[in-house]
Amino acid sequence: MIKPTLPYILLKFLLRFPLHNHIVILLFLVQIKVTFSATAPNFTACEPVNCGHGPDISYPFYITGKQKPFCGYPGFDLTCGKNGFPILDLFNTQHIIQQIFYNNNSLRVSNPVFSTPNTSQCILPTQNLTVGKYRFRIAPNQRNLFVFYGCNLTLLPEEMKEHKIGCSVHSNLSVVALYAEDVTNVRVAEENCRGGWVNATVEDEKRGNVREALEEGFVMSWNASNCSTCLNSGGRCGFDTRPAIYAFRCFCRDGVHVAQCNLPPPPSPPGPQQPG
């Protein structure tokens, strides 16, 4: 037996009505299709994207120019760097985002001064690492170190040479990195390195080559409205920054919700079994 197709069924349906009613019925059917197939614009706008390399970006972050500000939490805007990785600006110092761990609200970043030196392999001056305490904070198990510029290795103890990470871009002198707990060598560097110093952070477990540790960066945690409930309901997280609202929102296929999308009701428990 041949199964009737949808056009055949529709034709038989239309033939039941006078000809002048066909257009009205067709328009009604089209409207039903649009109603059930349309997706809310906020949901579509907040689809995760990337910069070409690196992690996909979604709430609480958003990429300026690629995603709408309402797709992220206020102050979590990113840009795309020339190398195709997302860039986070921390107090006027750009950091490359290497990884984002959405499951535990943390990310790994690195200062491009250390991770992508210029063609001469010399290191540009940078600023002290400043994170703040509201949006981001240094994650546990990180380690502090000092980066000294303008170091003349001939004036430093022999063991200091292994701490050289490059040359100063404005001189022929060296750049030396020392862990904060290496108090003796830190004092020697303070007395003999004439180019100043900045503080930096690396992961505590990276106890090998200091240069490699700086290239791999460090881990931070972030503070933002929790997104898991919305995600688990099939939505995409965002934030309404209008002064009258200024609150987290869950963008769903059917529109905007406060915390989560409308989930289907749980199935009813089976009724009592009829005796056989």
165 within some domain: yes
In a domain, 64, yes or no: yes
158 with 194, same domain? yes
Is there a domain that residue 19 lies in? no
Whether residue 205 sits in one domain with residue 71: no
Query: Is residue 159 located within the same domain as residue 236?
Result: no
Last residue of a domain, one of 216, 236, 252: 216
Looking at the fold, whether 142 and 210 belong to one and the same domain comes out as yes
Residue 241 lies in a domain: yes
Specify whether 55 is located in the same domain as 131: no
Spatial separation of the C-alpha atoms in residues 170 and 241, rounded to whole Å: 45
Task: Give the whole-angstrom CA distance, residue 237 versus residue 271.
Answer: 39
Residues 131 and 100 in one domain: no
In a domain, 60, yes or no: yes
Q: Is residue 172 part of a domain?
A: yes
3-state SS of 111-151 is CHHHHCCCCCCEECCCCCCCCCCCCEEECCCEEEEEEEEEE
| Residue 100 in domain | yes
pLDDT of residue 266 exceeding 90: no
pLDDT 10s digits, 69-128? 999 999 999 999 988 999 999 888 899 999 999 999 999 999 988 876 554 568 888 888
Note the pLDDT tens digit of each residue in 23-47.
Answer: 544 444 434 333 333 578 999 999 9
Domain housing 74: 39-105+224-261
- The pLDDT score that the predictor gives to residue 16 is 63
pLDDT at residue number 211: 84
Same domain as 245, residue 205: no
Tally of structural domains, the chain: 2
Report the mean per-residue pLDDT for the chain.
83
